[in-house]
Amino acid sequence: MKFNRRRFITVLTVAVGLGAAGLYHSYGPAADPVARPVDPRGPLSDSERSAIEIFERVSPSVVQVAARGAANPFINDDVLGSSGTGFVWDTNGHVVTNDHVVQNASVVAVRFSSGEVAQADVVGLAPNYDLAVLRVRNPKRLPPPVAIGSSAELKVGQAAYAIGNPFGLDQSLTSGIISALKRRLPTSGGREIANVIQTDAAINPGNSGGPLLDSAGRLIGVTTAIISPSGSNAGIGFAIPVDVVNRIVPQLIHSGRVPTPGIGIVAANETVATRFGVEGVIVVRTAPGSPAERGGLRGVDAATGTLGDVIVEINGKPVRRLTDLTDEIELTGVGRTVRLSVRRGSQTRAVEMEVIDISRS
């Protein structure tokens, strides 16, 4: 049969028209629009109830911290000021935040979850721990302090919650897990914070100084830094462990500063120790008049590049890296004595020396 193109198109057009007409008439006239009924939901999961309870209980005690060198602390200007997070520490109006949030500030203010804004004074700074304590001036009503937990008992994989003000978006809750423990974090004070908590709970600029909480709503750390090529959350955030915070903050409240325990040495970094195949802390030089100098420690011979002393043990504990040494010195405290095992060449000797506050020397 010869194909008749005109007849085919006519038939097709009629068929489509009939189909469309049938389709239209099958629905009938449009009904008045009405809202669809709401389907009832089941009960919240245990994890949802836990997160809600933590936020409702702790968030009133989390504040926005703004610092400036001018009169108005709430102008959003990264050059003239900084903004972060803090939390209520005690019933005396003390708020804990990061040192880098308020350093060099002449004006500091806090905003509570209620919307109340109050001026605050800097009570003390600890750059070596990236911690600062503020005191709020005449708050109308102070929220309860955040409950304190312990970082010594933490396990990788347990839940972690962060409350803060990322990008100025106040009262934001993020959750995740503890990704790692015993990280080391350099600070602006030139030292390292040991046993730092790593978490994948979203931490962004503005979260600094906020609380990291466990599933009981207890403080386990103070959020302080992220690793991110873009500057935003990449799933690697860090928090100062609460056991350090609970040791440093009372000292800042009492005296406004924290002693820096030491013995008066300049140590080589771990890369140098690895290059020499040394396990321990290489003494580069000793400070004049320091306990290390008085104890006879010898640094590297600059003329020949020959190693001097290597500290391999402190108070009976092995020293494999600098934090092994500094952690034990800090635990010993200023005014007390540490026992060192020092290797020079093939000989190892024991020496005792006093721990001093090297920030005053």
Q: Torsions phi, psi of 209, nearest 5?
A: 90, -5
**E strand or H helix at 330:** helix 322-332
208 is catalytic: yes
Please say whether the beta carbons of 244 and 342 come within 8 A. Answer: no
In this prediction the pTM is 0.75
Active-site residue, selected from the candidate residues 59, 179, 208, 290: 208
Q: Which CATH number fits domain 58-136: 2.30.110.10, 2.30.30.90, 3.40.1410.10, 2.40.10.10?
A: 2.40.10.10
Whether 200 is catalytic is no
Say which of 100, 170, 200, 214 is annotated catalytic: 100
Active site residue 243: no
Say if residue 73's pLDDT is above 60: no
Mean pLDDT of the chain: 85
Q: Which of 62-71, 140-149, 155-164, 215-224 has the lowest mean pLDDT?
A: 62-71
Contact 172/166 with Cβ under 8 angstroms? yes
As a whole number of angstroms, the distance between CA 214 and CA 51 comes to 10
Closest alpha carbon to 255 in 348, 123, 65: 123
Q: Which segment, 33-37, 78-82, 302-306, is predicted with the most confidence on average?
A: 33-37
Tell me the Ramachandran region of residue 63: left when phi exceeds 0, alpha when psi lies from -120 to 50, beta otherwise: beta
- Fold for 261-360, please state it: Pdz3 Domain (2.30.42)
Q: Which of 40-44, 74-78, 189-193, 280-284 has the lowest mean pLDDT?
A: 74-78
Q: Residue 77: what pLDDT?
A: 42
Q: Delimit the CATH 2.40.10.10 region(s) of the chain.
A: 58-136, 159-255
Q: Which of 189, 192, 194, 221 is nearest to 208 (CA)?
A: 221
Q: Which CATH superfamily is domain 159-255 in?
A: Trypsin-like serine proteases (2.40.10.10)
* pLDDT per residue as tens digits for the range 158-199: 999 999 998 878 889 999 999 999 888 877 655 678 789 999
Which regions of the chain carry the CATH code 2.30.42.10?
261-360
Mind listing the pLDDT tens digit for each residue in 119-159? 999 999 998 889 999 999 988 889 999 999 999 999 999 99
